[in-house]
Structure 1
């Protein structure tokens, strides 16, 4: 994550770029249903509270903070337990599964995720899924399937949403969910398929979450996918600090940049941005519940979560 983040922040001539300016605030607020604010604990120039303050200022009223391993999942659950603008998702990223299997640690780490999934403001298991872009060989792929199916089971037992990471594995993801039985609420995070996959996902009652990639000139298939699905299936995310929307590609992403993606989606659909925002906010609450359903703990003094 760190190397990719640093690459994303580099200008063509090398020096790091600053965050983009705040966009015009949304009239109707929405949620960022997939972000990685744990980078605030590893040299990121903006602390997670400043990210949330900036988001609040432009009409992004809450985020789902997503873990990718046991440490960042613990971080996410801790922040969500104390910060009313944050809910958490917890999981082992599929690319980590082969290494954990080789070390004999996958079961131990999955048990840790299972324990975190029982915490009140943890509302999703994710990101989990299959990623055949970097994983090669039968052993590595088998490890990903083992981890993915365990995460599906955790989501179903705890009644949580499932956030899917899908890279070069569209058919295999759907086949696995059909074979073992999907949780009630499934989200394809950073949807990367075409219109045919979008229709298949929507027909099963699952959700498609669009990131800044839907604004990229070289991503017409994503906009075609957006066109064919019911608006009741649409969510929005940043996947920050990655996938910064146009016109700020190459600079670090953050939840406060959601308005750029939302307005681009509304323009492509030929609808009013406020109407689309209202629909997406409603969809998000149907998936994760309300951000104020459970109280947060508020210990005295500043909170510094440990990854």
Structure 2
């Protein structure tokens, strides 16, 4: 069973509503989705990446950063960004996959492939990389640290942004960045810390990207962090197909649902939605560059398949 099939099977068993939510009201000022996984099909009627992007464009989502989690999905992300003007790519081995690669004796080879992909056109970030002490126990942490440090070096060597996955590992992530030196543009994807971590990020000029979970009722800590984060360091993302914002929590997420998260952020910050959108759009282009700064290639005669 593929990962996507496993996800759908598990969600059906949980009684989850697998229909995609309706289109939200379009934004007046557009934004970008800082982090999404369009290679993962979800829902009762999975959407092709082109339909995902068409829906996003229709509500004011100007483009997405398509993020790889392993060699296969990173290669797919780089291939798709090369031919799709609304997509840029990030490439990496996810921290939870690093121990598996290491156990098979394949981590060094995987990191070499990521380094090669990092030089491809329209690959603008290395990620998601970092540390995850929630799903990986002590036995796999050496591989996570080795992988994280290698990704940091790849980002710096290629002058790319770094997208960090940080789960239950805040102190070690900060220590690693300080010890080896963070890339100039460092992003805490799906920011999961409190106000104290937000202040640390602010002090170091690191970007904080908020996902749909900032809208959850029990996410008071995230909203406190949002208040601390300087507007110039804010980004917004879906992490689709996960973390669907309210009022559709639990249903499949997609880039076109960004307006729900952005409006919730603006409401909490007591600011105008369009002003916040303009700021976040500018921030995103400072991190990754413009989506139209590199031309896209002609699509191949044989369509690139989705990741199975």
Residue 83 of structure 1: aligned partner = 84
Are residues 1:113 and 2:114 paired? yes
SS at match of 1:133: coil
SS at match of 2:292: coil
CA RMSD of aligned residues (A): 1.9
Distance 1:135 1:161 in 2: 25
Residue 252 of structure 2: aligned partner = 252
Residue 136 of structure 2: aligned partner = 135
Distance 2:248 2:16 in 1: 16
| Aligned length in residues | 305
Cα shift readout 1:8-28 (whole Å, capped 9, x = no counterpart): 85485x365210000000000
Inter-CA distance 74–41: structure 2 relative to 1 (3 Å threshold): farther
1:300 deviation in Å? 5.8
SS at match of 1:18: coil
Residue 6 of structure 1: aligned partner = 8
Residue 227 of structure 1: aligned partner = 227
* TM-score, normalised via structure 2 length: 0.95
Distance 1:303 1:226 in 2: 41
Residue 22 of structure 1: aligned partner = 23
- The answer to which of 97-106 and 230-239 deviates more is 97-106
Residue 51 of structure 1: aligned partner = 52
Cα shift readout 1:93-148 (whole Å, capped 9, x = no counterpart): 000111111111000000000000001100000000000011112x4111100000
For residues 184-223 of structure 1, what are the structure 2 equivalents within 5 Å?
A: 184-223=184-223
Distance 2:128 2:42 in 1: 19
Q: Is 2:65–2:88's contact at 8 Å kept on the other side of the alignment?
A: yes
- The answer to which of 33-42 and 89-98 deviates more is 33-42
Structure 2 unaligned spans of 5+: none
Q: Is 2:195–2:228's contact at 8 Å kept on the other side of the alignment?
A: yes
Q: Is 1:32–1:63's contact at 8 Å kept on the other side of the alignment?
A: yes
Are residues 1:275 and 2:275 paired? yes
Inter-CA distance 267–41: structure 2 relative to 1 (3 Å threshold): closer
